[in-house]
Structure 1
Amino acid sequence: MLEEEFDIDALKRNETADFVAEVFYEELKFILNKDLDQMLIVENNGMNSRALSKDILDVSTLYKSISSKYKEFLVLHLSRNSIYHQLPEILFHPLVISTPSMSNKEVVEAIKENKRRELRNLNFFQPFDTDLFNESSKIINRHLNFLTDDDASENLFKIAQKILDAKLDIPKVKLFKLFFKLCNSEQLKENLPVIEDLIYEVLDLKVTLKYTPKIFNKIPFNTLGNGLLGIDFGLHGNVQSEVDDITVCILLNESVEDYNELLKNINNVKIILSFLIISNREIFVTYHLTGKLDFTLNNKYLGYDTYLN
């Protein structure tokens, strides 16, 4: 019995009772450690200005006879409109409940009957109100637990994939981490030490980033009329761009056994950098073996099994 196990009055004084009813209901299930969906009844009392926007008016228990036994229900009294309140009143009540020929006693009885009819209608729509509340509670729960709820997490993953629009071969949890980091990308732009940390968090790769001068070996000028700028006007030799390139060095502790894995990491690094550096920088990715290499003659091929850095 809920009343014997828990102090219902104390639950009503819980600070979450000031939140919307769906949030309070999820907290109630956590506190009671029970699945309340099959024992929930929602009683909507209609919108009331005296409630001062408080969604939860009261919490109580109710016992009903179900198949020759009594079943306990948890009743949430809400200051919300029922389906009944939102339908035209003419469907359930006459426009006038009295006539000039009625005595005072008959008028009072007509008013009471009108009230009884309202209660019957509220009871009729109560299961529908409860089901609608359960569905809205599930939606709220997905919003509150979008990183832990399976359905919400899958939806968020698809949204992150769509927004990033990048062919990143990384686990879901890493993609979430990258997505949330990129939400503050203005703080990461061109910040090489912070980007190094980000790549380590997302790809588990230690990297070093540095700017390298961009040198044009070929003359980057087009034909101007009948003259070729740089040839006919005496501008010969290499040309250095005003915008540097980015060189990434992946630091490896041991030799690479799977070359496709290395290519995947290089591609992932380039994609992540594309979000965080200006687009006209070219990205060069190299790798450096920091661990000790043993070379045994006749067992390894120089340049194939052994890396010369």
Structure 2
Amino acid sequence: MNSKITLSTSKMYSLFVRSRLNKCTNKRFLGNLQSESTRQNELFDLEKKRQREEIGRIDKIEVEVQCKSESKTYVMNKLISTPYDCARHLNETIMNKTAVALINGETLWHMHKPLPDSCKLEFLDYKVSQPGQVNKAFWRTCSFLLGAVASNAFKDKVDVQLHSFPIPNVKSGSFVYDIQLSLDNWVPTSSELRVLSMEMIKFCQQAHPIECLDVTADFALVLFKENPHKTMQIPDIAANNNGKVTLFRAGPNVDISKGPMIANTNQLGRTTVTNVIKLDTDIKGSPVYRFQGVALPSSIVLNHFAYGLLEERAKNLNSARIPGSQDVTTEDNSFMAQATN
């Protein structure tokens, strides 16, 4: 009996994805008015709504929030309430300054990801005594946002295919996104780098909450069907994550990452796209370029001279693994990920 129920649910889910995909695709091609980003966002919203409706009866959980020297316990909704919802019960400063949450003293948790069970919850900001985990979440988010900005900057002139970004490594001196562009030998001018930097700053100042959604590999393949690099990576990502692929969205931009990321784009402060370097790779088609940058959280102030040193260092080619056609490069299996495991 259980197997029949599972099969029926699976068929229903497949039909749901297929019907929504056809609807979005038909709208796109009939008038050619819908962009690929719009199609992805429609599917993301529909899947988010479907998952919410699938929860059914709402169970309650108890979340013990550690705040300075005291703790408070809140009754929240299982699989619906997020750490950010818990922060709403405290104060606006915690809501705005927290980068990531920590569950039961050991598991980093995205601020906008629903809580699965009762737990102890801590909020980590950028001035914690041991900032390593927060720094990685911040660096990972910077890579994600760099890819988003590059996609938008070139959409009217150049074919852009996001490839991947390596696991965050602050010691490398730069955050990175490897992107395939239909430009043969592009060497960006200082003016072009400044434009990219300004676009990233403007995007972050729009204060986009960074959403998180776990989906099946099948759904992810539908979502990224126009990106050959992502479709190649998705089966491997799902195989190492209990069949799931974790999506993140900021504004209209959707991407894949193991996470967690920071809560809001406005937590990025001083930001510079420092270099774009053509990579020597055997990936077919257009060249792959390594976009590099450096940034500080908005709550961290650094003098101009010191920040200038960080910018100069971030111009050097980041030594993270260069993607190739014979392997599947993702955030999980990058060179630095293997080196630190």
- TM-score class, shorter: under 0.3
The higher-RCO structure (CA 8 Å, 6+ apart) is: 2
Greater share of strand: 2
What is the TM-score normalised by the length of structure 2?
A: 0.19
